[in-house]
A and B are shown apart, each in its own frame.
Chain A
Amino acid sequence: MNYVTTIGGREYVVEIVDERHIMVNGTLCEVDFDNVSDQPVFSLLLNGQSYESYVYSGDEGWEVLLHGSLYLAKVEDEREKRLRASTGSRVADREEFHLRAPMPGLVVTVPVVEGEKVEKGDVLLILESMKMQNELRSPRSGKVSRMRVKPGDSVEQRQTLLSVI
């Protein structure tokens, strides 16, 4: 799996190759990563170099305390990046919004019905993909229309699921 991790404006592309290897910005590294006694303390052996760090999940990402310095890291996987791209797009209030599947998956729940009024940020549909349940939210307020899917449907990437008018 590919992750894009940002610290202080710098991006690191980290690919999990297998249990013992990762690619960091294209360089293959040997890793041995362990959680110390079930605490938020982690031990990393990176190409033989030993690091120990506290990791907390904060409001704005991961807080990594390493050698007396605190780093704020935002970790996104490809799925999240695509999700953000699909719903993060600015939709003018008067424009119709067509919800498209950001990735192939299975429709788990559709908490709204045809003709229902929704507010910006309401969950329109839950799509299961990459073993994760993803909430797809409305970028604008309006009325649900042209419902094209129901729970249990498999959908393709970029397939239109429903619209908000």
Chain B
Amino acid sequence: MFNKVLIANRGEIAVRIIRACRELGMQTVAVFSEADRQALHVRYADEAYLLGPPPSRESYLLGEKIIDIALKSGAGGIHPGYGFLAERADFAQACLDAGLAFIGPKPSAIAAMGDKAVARSTVRRAGVPVVPGTEGEGSLGDEELLSLAPEIGFPLLIKATAGGGGKGMREVSSLDEMPSLLHSARREAEASFGDGNVYLEKLLEGARHIEIQVLADAHGNVIHLGERECSLQRRHQKLLEETPSPFVSDNEELRQSMGALAVRAAQAVGYVNAGTIEFLVDKDKNYYFLEMNTRLQVEHPVTEMVTGVDIVKEQIRIARGRQMRYTQDDIFMNGWAIECRINAEDPYNNFLPSTGRITHSLLPTGPGVRVDTGVYPGFEISPYYDSLISKLIVWGETRAEAILRMRRSLEEYKIVGVRTNIPFHQNLMDSHRFMGGQYDTRFVEKRFSMEAAEEGKTDQSGIAAIIATLVAHQQTQRAAHIIQRGERDTSNWKWLSRWERLHR
């Protein structure tokens, strides 16, 4: 059994895993790129080793080097976090071959769930419904796909077999436009994943994206920790998650039947450790398997807040070969939790990523608030990695309390130096549709805009005008002071150029 863990990741998730290890009394080993020398995970870990230059493929994706560092430092287990090497079956296998515990599922389960077509046919055989489509039919040519399309019905989606993140995905509304869309989807999939295979899937309208967290140990115990509502997305990137789902809410029957199906899907691939089964749920509460994420999810904290289960600690426990501390009967959902992903993106400039040094940061605190972050004032947000700065998570006894608490936390949260999407979340918290739980996966793109959200809100132009005027006035005064005449013995121009040199 290992007592030292290497964390093969960076940012907030590396910090999160280090915290769990610390609390378990385990030693931690961080790895970092040249861009992350001052990152929190490097500062918090017991040991830290340089991987290489900033680009991921020269640092955090160097599986062999990471395994080497683990062996040299005497770490017995590797936690991959999410992203980077987390869902690479070959890396998980290489860990095992080197005699290291991989804190995640077996390589075979990662492989089975990684290929979407294989995953769909596997769970379908286990009796889990999948969205109607051409899954499990192998690689089909364009002609076969075109002839199968009318059977599935329009609108439908073309999806990349090896896909993810919306790449190689196309929405098709009629047979006429399908050939050209097939062509472009294949081209994009080929470029992104080196695999041009695609399959068709029925497009469910008004569908929600709801996922079930599962935990499984090596002793054959599999449990689920309820659902997470992840429908609030923009370009297939999740922005906010909550649990329970307002759509499932107190429908315990729906929750338990989805949970039981998720458990069955996990068992179908002999799953061990933490994983997530994603479902699409239509407006009539029919649900279909979408895919399985064979890793710790970004949004795992909301589940931790309502169930009280520390998922990361449980992952480590499972990887050490122990039994889980919980059975299904121990799991209850208490209250409501919401997570806002705080990204370095400017919501007023088409969510363009913003980079730079964080010069000032004031974290929200107080009852029911949790912030998972890897940054601090003075830290540089570099263009090499994703734009996630932190996750702001709140808990409330009811959904209403959680929303109100999130509102006040967002108002308290100050980050200066980069633009963030905090104003987006503030507008979302004020949106009546969000408050009513009336949203689907298209909500952010189709029905929400920063301007529309601002209609009907208390207009504070007057206050803003006063603030702007006072700032401008201060600046004028300061500028006037600099070039004030007659107070210096040298010429104004000389003085000005000296002053400029001083402040360069």
Which residues of A approach B to under 8 Å, CB–CB?
1, 3, 5, 7-8, 10, 12, 14, 16, 22, 24, 29, 31, 33, 35-37, 39-42, 44, 46, 51-55, 61-62, 64-71, 73, 75, 77, 106, 108, 128, 130-133
Contacts and interface: CB of A to CB of B under 8 A. Distances in A.
Contact of B470 (A41, A44, A66): A44
A75 B466 contact: no
A5 B468 contact: yes
Contact of A55 (B468, B479, B484): B468
Given A7-B465, A10-B465, A70-B423, 11 more contacts: A14-B469, A22-B469, A31-B470, A39-B416, A41-B416, A46-B466, A61-B468, A64-B464, A68-B426, A77-B476, A106-B485
A75 B472 contact: yes
Given A8-B461, A46-B466, A132-B476, A69 B454 contact: yes
**Interface majority SS (helix, strand, loop, mixed), chain B:** helix
B427 A55 contact: no
Interface in B404-440: 410-411, 414, 416, 422-423, 426-427, 430
Contacts of B454: 69
Interface in B453-475: 454, 457, 460-474
B426 A62 contact: no
A5 B476 CA distance: 15
B465 A131 contact: no
B2 interface: no
Contacts of B465: 5, 7, 10, 12, 14, 24, 71, 73
A132 B463 contact: no
A1 B461 contact: no
A68 B460 contact: no
B476 A66 contact: no
B483 A133 contact: yes
B360 interface: yes
Given A62-B468, A62-B471, A130 B480 contact: yes
Contacts of B410: 68
Given A14-B465, A39-B359, A55-B468, A66 B460 contact: yes
Interface in B364-384: none
B348 interface: yes
A8 B348 CA distance: 16
Nearest to A4: B469
B461 A10 contact: yes
The list of the 8 closest CB pairs from A to B, nearest first, reads A68-B426, A73-B468, A131-B480, A71-B464, A75-B472, A62-B468, A12-B465, A64-B464
Contact of B463 (A22, A51, A106, A108): A51
B430 A132 contact: no
A5 B464 CA distance: 10
Contact of A75 (B423, B427, B461, B469): B469
Contacts of A131: 480-481, 483-485
Interface string B463-504: 111111111111010011101110000001000000000000
